[in-house]
Amino acid sequence: MKKYLFYFLIIAVIKGDIYDVSIPENDTASYNYADFRMWVNDSTDTLKGIYWFMHPNNGDSRSIVNDSAYQSLVNGQDFALLGAHIFNMHMETGIGDAVIAAMDSFAVQSGHEEISFVPFFINGYSWGGQFGYHFTKWIPERVLGFITQKGGYHDTTDAGEAIEVPGLMVIAENDAQYRIDNLTGIFHDHRPQGAKWILAMEPDVAHTLVVDYPFLDSFFNTVTDLRLPSELDVFEPIALNVIPDSIGWLGNQSTYRIGSWDCFDGDLDSSSWFPSREVGEYWQNFVTDLPTDTSICDPEYDSSYVFFTVGIHGADNESDYTITTNNNDLIDQCRSQLELPEDERMLHINGYLDYGDAGSMNHGAGTLFLIIGHLRRCQLVFVMVHQKM
């Protein structure tokens, strides 16, 4: 998790316009207030989506539209940037309808008619994550993907079609237990149904904003690339792509081992689903500082290579490791020695060699040094296995 690299970046100032909209309650609504602010890049001809950052309880995320890093992120996908000041997270109060009405107003103000139709990507912290999840359940056809960070009062009822919306659910090791239990329970209730969701426990922190932006941004960009149709008419309702399960990667919540759909060796129903290998590797880096591993399918062997199992004579198998080479001179030398009677071997090699796809040899300590010396000088150690992942 802590393996971040820091760079000094020169970020060009992106010129854009900022718009404000407030949607007052009508006679049937009870959401109290709903204020919105949107940033649109001056040079974007046609918007493809809206990146919406949602605030924690009693907060206000409208200032996000001035954040140059977020502007740069959304500009890469031709998205608008949205912040809000909202009191209620329950769709039955009319707040969902207020959001849609606000988008229609932004479409008129900005001259970007497509804002009435393009989808949202929602990144919410704490209460804001709860809002984003509830909004996704309410209108999944308008949401590309969502991130919910450490909220504790997400609706635990069935998510319906929202299981097809890729989600990143973040909990914190030192956060209040009810927050951990809330999102963990929702995740485990829906993964057996095929929910395309990730559960990520951030270690050694409590109720704080996630700042692993490479992870969050990779998730956003990957989901956007996969979910937006290649032929996009943004001036009418958009049918978002449903990502096939089988292109995803999976992650074991206990061992943090990841693998492709075909090669994963863990329990699918309790494992995180990633839209790409890259996102899975960012997840590994986020959830643990320990070494992590990747599941592989059955290895495909190249018969021109030979395996040598090398160990110290008299030691247990903890001293063993495998050398792989296709250097014919070295292979022939070892074969010729093994074909001699043991008392005539110059290298004092004990063991056997299979003339098929692979061989094995056990060496005394002196021979071990000689063979390894050859390999190091000639740089003849190769990876033999062609892995299907």
How far apart are alpha carbons 272 and 253 in whole angstroms?
Answer: 7
DSSP sequence for 180-211: HHHHHHHHHHHGGGT--EEEEEETT--S----
β-sheet bridge partners, residue 198: 168
Half-sphere exposure at residue 199, Cβ-oriented, CA atoms within 13 angstroms: 23
Dihedral, 145, 150, 152, 156 alpha carbons, nearest 10: 30
Domain with CATH 3.40.50.1820 in the chain: 16-287
How far apart are alpha carbons 115 and 128 in whole angstroms?
Answer: 21
| Residue with tokens 């008619």, as numbered in its chain | 113
- Mean pLDDT by runs of 10 across the 389 residues of the chain is 42 81 96 98 97 97 98 98 98 98 98 98 98 99 99 98 99 98 99 99 98 99 98 94 97 96 95 98 97 79 60 55 68 70 58 42 35 32 38
Q: What pLDDT does residue 297 have?
A: 80
**347 contacts 335 by C-beta, under 8 angstroms:** no
Question: The whole model's pTM is what?
Answer: 0.76
Q: What pLDDT does residue 6 have?
A: 40
β-sheet bridge partners, residue 54: 124
Q: What pLDDT does residue 90 have?
A: 98
Three-state DSSP at 56 gives coil
Q: What pLDDT does residue 332 have?
A: 74
Q: What pLDDT does residue 380 have?
A: 30
Q: What pLDDT does residue 359 have?
A: 38
How far apart are alpha carbons 85 and 66 in whole angstroms?
Answer: 15
The number of beta carbons lying within 10 Å of the beta carbon of residue 234 is: 20
How far apart are alpha carbons 226 and 101 in whole angstroms?
Answer: 27
**117 contacts 46 by C-beta, under 8 angstroms:** no
CATH fit for domain 16-287, picks 3.30.1540.10, 3.30.365.10, 3.40.109.10, 3.40.50.1820? 3.40.50.1820
Residue-level length of the chain:
389
Half-sphere exposure at residue 153, Cβ-oriented, CA atoms within 13 angstroms: 9
| Residue with tokens 């591993």, as numbered in its chain | 293
The number of beta carbons lying within 10 Å of the beta carbon of residue 329 is: 11
Q: What pLDDT does residue 340 have?
A: 74
Dihedral, 256, 214, 137, 207 alpha carbons, nearest 10: 80
How far apart are alpha carbons 125 and 151 in whole angstroms?
Answer: 7
Q: What pLDDT does residue 327 have?
A: 76
How far apart are alpha carbons 56 and 210 in whole angstroms?
Answer: 13
Q: What's CA 181's distance to the chain center, in Å? A: 22
Tokens of 273: 């689903």
